[in-house]
């Protein structure tokens, strides 16, 4: 059964959502991310994707205090991303309660650093963030496109031991227009053993069931939850399965 992973995106210590990574499109959903995390935990959620959008924009970890609050006051398994560029950033993330971290831009721009993290901390704690537009990797909070092909990028880190990959179709993120099912099917046909986590575009519970049927291992969703298109009650059958 597909793993359900709500997202909390943080700007200025608040729970927000963007559309297609555009910071100008931010919408604040809650002033208190811990309150949101507690609500999710009470609803049966076990894992949280926490994104430091300030960190992604400034190229170093910023909202680690929010991470620490959620990690110490809930039992949620927190995977944390956004602005992790150096060994010091990673140390701060883990010391403040992250159980896993997601690296995207660093895996593109500093592959030696990312490879060292895999060896040092273990592939089970390091998630590859593969954010793509037209099957090309994008970095730096999606402000920059690279020439890297999505499939080649993932293959390289799979050869180094990475097991979990979060793939976000940037054109769909925050747009509530449905996930990139064809892309995910293609990725799984290419690498059937990949623990693929879909991100971007989820508009309702039916999208999650379609991803499950396609063999996707996990799904990150945020805006649909905050806009009431998905409720925790709707998720209950999947959580109890």
% of the chain at pLDDT higher than 70: 95
Is the model's pLDDT at 55 over the cut of 60?
yes
DSSP label at residue 79: E
For residue 9, indicate whether it is catalytic: yes
Catalytic residue (one of 9, 52, 54, 89): 9
Is the model's pLDDT at 143 over the cut of 60?
no
The alpha carbon torsion through 166, 9, 34, 59 (nearest 10 deg) reads 90
Catalytic residue (one of 52, 79, 89, 131): 131
Is the model's pLDDT at 106 over the cut of 60?
yes
To which H or E segment does residue 18 belong? strand 14-19
Predicted model pTM? 0.93
The span from the CA of 135 to the CA of 151, in Å, is 8
Instruction: Identify the bridge partners of residue 100 per DSSP, sorted by sequence position.
Output: 79
pLDDT in tens, 147-194: 799 999 999 999 999 999 999 988 776 667 899 999 999 999 999 999
Q: Which of 62-71, 92-101, 129-138 has the lowest mean pLDDT?
A: 129-138
Is the model's pLDDT at 141 over the cut of 50?
no
174 or 110, greater pLDDT: 110
Nearest one of 93, 137, 86 to 112, comparing CA atoms: 86
119 or 141, greater pLDDT: 119
Q: What is the mean pLDDT of residues 113-141?
A: 91
């Amino acid at each position: 059964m597909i793993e359900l992973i709500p997202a909390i995106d943080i700007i200025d210590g608040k729970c927000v959502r963007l559309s297609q990574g555009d910071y100008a499109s931010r919408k604040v959903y809650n002033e208190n991310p811990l309150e949101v995390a507690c609500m999710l935990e009470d609803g049966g959620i076990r894992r949280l994707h926490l994104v430091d959008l300030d960190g992604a924009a400034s190229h170093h970890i910023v909202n680690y205090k929010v991470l620490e609050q959620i990690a110490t006051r809930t039992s949620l398994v927190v995977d944390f991303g956004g602005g992790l560029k150096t060994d010091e950033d990673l140390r701060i993330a883990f010391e403040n309660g992250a159980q896993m971290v997601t690296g995207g831009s660093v895996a593109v721009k500093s592959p030696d650093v990312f490879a060292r993290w895999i060896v040092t901390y273990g592939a089970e704690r390091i998630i590859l963030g593969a954010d793509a537009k037209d099957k090309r990797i994008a970095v730096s909070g999606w402000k920059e496109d690279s020439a890297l092909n999505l499939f080649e990028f993932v293959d390289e880190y799979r050869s180094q031991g990475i097991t979990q990959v979060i793939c976000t179709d940037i054109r769909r993120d925050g747009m509530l227009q449905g996930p990139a099912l064809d892309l995910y099917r293609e990725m799984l046909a290419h690498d059937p053993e990949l623990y693929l986590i879909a991100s971007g575009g989820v508009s309702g519970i039916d999208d999650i069931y379609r991803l499950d049927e396609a063999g996707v291992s996990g799904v990150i969703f945020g805006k649909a939850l905050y806009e009431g298109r998905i409720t925790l009650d709707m998720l209950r059958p999947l959580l109890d399965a």
